[in-house]
Each structure stands twice: as structure tokens, then as C-alpha cells.
Amino acid sequence: MHELGIVTHVIRTIEETCTDNHLTRVGSVTLQIGEVSGIVPSYLTDCWKWAADKSEVLRGSELKIEMTEAITDCLDCGKNYRTADYGKECPFCHSTNTVLNHGTECSIKEIFAE
Ligand SMILES: [Zn+2]
């Protein structure tokens, strides 16, 4: 399960941050997830409930998810466009010489201590 691996990684990172900052309790965590990351938010929330309960600092904490728009850059005409609308083909020059700029990320945006 992709989502469980992400949650495990995120929880470990937060626990380390809490240790470094002497925090003992986290109220909520906001994650930013790219819209083409393949991550299903509802699975992520389910995994979170299960995994956070096993963590001293995260027990009962809330997971908030923010989706970020995926953008692709065209290497031929230099423009960029929404990946979700056009995929790999540039809508301006119809080149497929394109690279995904962002939209696959999964990062911790905010941690609120209780
Ligand atoms: Zn183009």
C-alpha cells in the first residue's frame, strides 16, 4: 500500500521534528499533495487514523490534505500548462517534448502543536 508507506514516512519525520523542538503533542498536520501523485486522499486519511494512534505525539491528531495543481513545462515552446487537462502533449505547439514540473510531491506544509 503506497499510502501507508507515505504515512509512515510522514509520521517519522514529524516525530523527529517534535523531538528537535521539544513538542509533546501535535493537534493537526497539513500535507500538500500533487494532483498527479497517484495518492488517494481518503486512503491517506484512513492510514493516518490507524498509524497516528500508535504514535505518542500524534495520537488523536487531525490530518488535513491540500491538493496542489500539476504543471507541465514544454521544452519546445517554453510555455507551461495544467497537466490534468492536457497530459504529455503541449496544447500550444503540440510537442510531446515536455516535463512534469511539479504535481507529484507529497510534503508536510504545517504542523500545529496542541
Ligand atoms: Zn509547446
CB 26 within 8 A of CB 14: yes
CA dist 100 and 23 (Å) reads 37
What CATH code is carried by the domain that includes residue 62? 3.30.2320.50
C-alpha 95 to ligand 1 mean position (Å): 5
C-alpha 33 to ligand 1 mean position (Å): 26
Sheet with 106-113: list strands edge to edge.
62-68, 26-34, 106-113
- Determine the structural domain holding residue 51 and report its residue range: 2-69+103-113
For residue 98, being part of any structural domain is answered with: no
Return left, alpha or beta for 60; rule: phi > 0 is left, psi -120 to 50 is alpha, else beta: left
C-alpha 68 to ligand 1 mean position (Å): 22
Task: Give the pLDDT confidence of 13-67 residue by residue, as tens digits.
Answer: 999 999 999 999 999 999 999 999 999 999 999 999 999 999 999 999 999 999 9
For residue 75, being part of any structural domain is answered with: no
Task: Give the pLDDT confidence of 71-106 residue by residue, as tens digits.
Answer: 999 999 999 999 999 999 999 999 999 999 989 889
